[in-house]
Structure 1
Amino acid sequence: MTAPFSVMLFAAGMGTRMAPLTADRPKPLICVAGRALLDHALDLTDVPQVGRRVVNVHYKAGMVRAHLAGRDVAISAEDPLLETGGGLRHALPILGAGPVMTLNTDAVWHGPNPLTQLAAAWQPKMEALLLLVPPAQVAGHVGKGDFAIAPDGRLTRAPAQIYTGAQIMRTDRLGDVPQDAFSLNLIWNEMAQRGGLYGISYDGRWCDVGRPDCIPLAEQMLQAPDV
């Protein structure tokens, strides 16, 4: 890479799967091992490969704004909710041109920094590079998997490895989508058809913290010996 990537941290969702804990706070401010999920995610961005940081907000946005006050983090406010694709497009004036990283805030990691791993693997020929994890290295996730990685690194839809919520992607195609709110899955499917969707496997362990019962699983993983 020649310059740091801007990173979009998704933090605007309603957190319905995390109820009742989200009755009085947004999901990114729920604590795991004594720290907010959003802070766990922001820790990952404190590396040379990351430049500008943007957090999107919607549900209980004032609480997220207050939590981030005084930090070098920009806010992208959404009203109404725009989903992942629409939210990323809405934030592009802040993120800037060029490929960007995106990171979900409802997960914790144990092992190498995932953003560093992505930056090291990024190549100009790629339209997007998704970080996946084998099921044996996952906690808290319900599902059979999202993608299979071919020998050349290209991705196809298959119940094999699980998408972790971390990626690098080019954003020039986002403007082609007519609707305001849309999922990044729409863009990924088009990239896959063109042969531009790539993936790599994460070298550590990952926990999806989408439900209250996932919190003790995440804390147990964080306390485990280094992998």
Structure 2
Amino acid sequence: MQTLILAAGQGTRMRPLTEQRPKPMLPVAGQPLVAHTATAAINAGASRLVFVVGYEADAVRSYFGTEFNGVPVEYAVQDTQQGTADAVRAGVAKLADEPFAVLNGDNLYDSESLAGLFECGPSVGSYRVEQPSAYGVLDITDGRVTKVVEKPDTPPSDVINTGAYVFPAPAQDWLDVEQSERGEHELTDVLNRACQETTVTAVPLHRWLDVGRPWELLEANEWKLDECQRQLNGEIHDDAKLRGNVIVESGATVDAGVVIEGPAILQAGTTVGPNAYVRGATLLGPDTTVGHSVEVKNSVLMRGATVGHLSYVGDSILGRDVNFGAGTTVANLRHDEMPVTCEVKGEQVSTGRRKFGVVCGDGVKTGINTSLNAGVSLATGATTAPNETVLRSVTDD
């Protein structure tokens, strides 16, 4: 199955994490998010991958090259991001005149379900949710998809469109669709035509995650870190205690008095300790530092991030080269025990999580004894003063 992977968008809902990188290249369990998408596709039977790239395209090209896990890789460029149908239109020139799959590069899928999707084409990946009106909802009759309805007030079912498709070969000529109300060329219009022209099967996905907002990046890491197996290749002090599925890559160092409770990954160049505590689903990216008497829980620290002394970081995401001054403390729980909210594109949005900490863009620096409130987001390069308490997000504006 020739497979298009859409990886061109700017990921504005994921800012500040995407201000200097494409969303599909955000780290999940030691690999880019889109690498998990590609791996699942290959395991399901993808014979060739075509990445549709645009924003910060070189990051995708440099990671995948011309071959990934034994499968040839090509690239198509979507110069301006004008919707999913437009993205596929940019990629079809690279395809043979055969059926083709389309996957979102910022989604996670289980391989077994994708294999079923590929085998049943023409098909669309489906998933049951409690509140379908927030999604594109599939209208299904006798197992056949008759149409997809976008965010209906009265949903025809509780089965939603996951944005994973297998289209028949003629669909390569159906991509010149009109703009939707939001000014984009939507692939769902192509799906609706496929429903009229042929039989489209809804294939249930056993597991699926749309990684669109920062807290969903935490959820993605929780999923993939839970699949990791214990592997200790770095330098580990005899007085350190590593429990559960912990990966310590070659070149990582764990000092005396450290306790790590997996699942966790310590990538090359990482140093932890002395006397540090790492727990929950935690990714410590390359060249990160977790220093003396620091606790990190259920978090992602990207390349070069440093939490050096006497700090607590819980349920948080720290971008590249973030530096937390000594005594910086992250709050991750509301007193009323309601879900923590986080600012997305200027609006406060519920994360749906009882515990959620902070999101720091690349290069954030905090002064000593800074306190960061639950749900706060700090823009790329933001700084705080010593003893400062940050109760609201700091944006570029």
Shift of residue 213, structure 1, vs aligned partner: 1.0
Q: Distance in 1 between matches of 2:119 and 2:224?
A: 24
Give the C-alpha shift of residue 144 in structure 1: 4.9
* Residue 209 of structure 2: aligned partner: 207
Q: Which residue of 1 aligns with 2:164?
A: 166
CA 1:220 to 1:192, structure 2 compared with 1: closer, same or farther past 3 Å?
A: same
1:83 aligns with 2:86: no
Match status 1:64 vs 2:63:
no
* Closer, same or farther: CA 48–14 of 1 in aligned 2, 3 Å: closer
Superposed CA deviations along residues 87-120 of structure 1, whole A, max 9, x for unmatched, are: 21222221111110011111223x4433211122
Conserved? CA contact 2:85–2:177, under 8 Å = no
Q: 1:148 aligns with which of 111, 135, 139?
A: 139
Q: For 1:26 and 1:168, locate their aligned partners in 2 and report how far apart those are by CA, in whole Å.
A: 25
The 5 A counterparts of 1:95-114 are: 95-109=95-109, 111-114=110-113
Aligned to 1:73: 73
2:38 pairs with 1:42? yes
- The answer to which structure has the higher helix fraction is 1
The answer to whether the 8 A contact 1:29-1:38 is kept is: yes
Whether 2:11 is the aligned partner of 1:8: answer no
Letter paired with 2:162: T
User: How far has the Cα of 1:145 moved from its partner?
Assistant: 5.2
Shift of residue 84 of structure 1?
Answer: 1.6
CA pair 132-214 structure 1, distance change in 2 beyond 3 A: same
Matched, 1:116 2:115: yes
Aligned to 1:129: 123
Q: Compute the TM-score of the two structures, normalised by the length of structure 2.
A: 0.48
Alignment identity in percent? 26
Q: Alpha-carbon deviation of 1:159?
A: 4.8
In 2, distance between residues paired with 1:14 and 1:145?
21
Q: CA deviation at 1:6?
A: 0.6
| Residue 198 (str. 1) matches residue 201 (str. 2) | yes
Distance apart, 1:53 and its partner CA: 0.8
Q: Which has the higher strand share?
A: 2
In angstroms, what is the RMSD of aligned CA positions? 2.7
Structure number with larger C-alpha Rg: 2
Query: What's the offset of the Cα at 1:146?
Result: 1.6
* Counterpart residue type for residue 217 of structure 2: I
CA distance in structure 1 between the aligned counterparts of 2:226 and 2:64, rounded to whole angstroms: 29
Number of the residue aligned with 2:23? 27
Q: Offset of 1:129 from its aligned partner? A: 0.8
Q: Is the CA contact 1:144–1:159 (under 8 Å) kept in the aligned structure 2?
A: no
Q: Note if contact 2:40-2:114 (Cα within 8 Å) is conserved in structure 1.
A: yes
Letter in 2 for 1:149: I
- Quote the offset at 1:193 in angstroms: 4.1
Q: Which has the higher contact order (CA 8 A, sep 6+)?
A: 1
Instruction: Give, as a single letter, the amino acid of the residue that structure 1 aligns with 2:104.
Output: N
1:121-169: CA deviations, max 9, x gaps? 23xxxxx310111126x9xx99255213322322433352122221100
- Aligned partner letter, 1:166: A
Change (3 A) 1:35 1:94: same
Given that 2:144 and 2:201 are in contact with CA atoms closer than 8 Å, whether structure 1 keeps it comes out as yes
Q: CA deviation at 1:171?
A: 4.3
TM-score (ref. length: structure 1): 0.80
Aligned residues: 211
Q: CA deviation at 1:173?
A: 4.1
AA matched with 1:129: S
Q: Which is worse superposed, 75-84 or 156-165?
A: 156-165
| Per-residue deviation, residues 4-53 of structure 1 (Å, max 9, x unmatched) | x1100000011111111001100010012222111101101223732121
Preserved CA contact (<8 Å) 2:108 2:208: yes
Unmatched 5+ residue regions in structure 1?
123-127
**Which of 186, 191, 214 is 1:183 aligned to?**
186
1:218 alignment partner in structure 2: 220
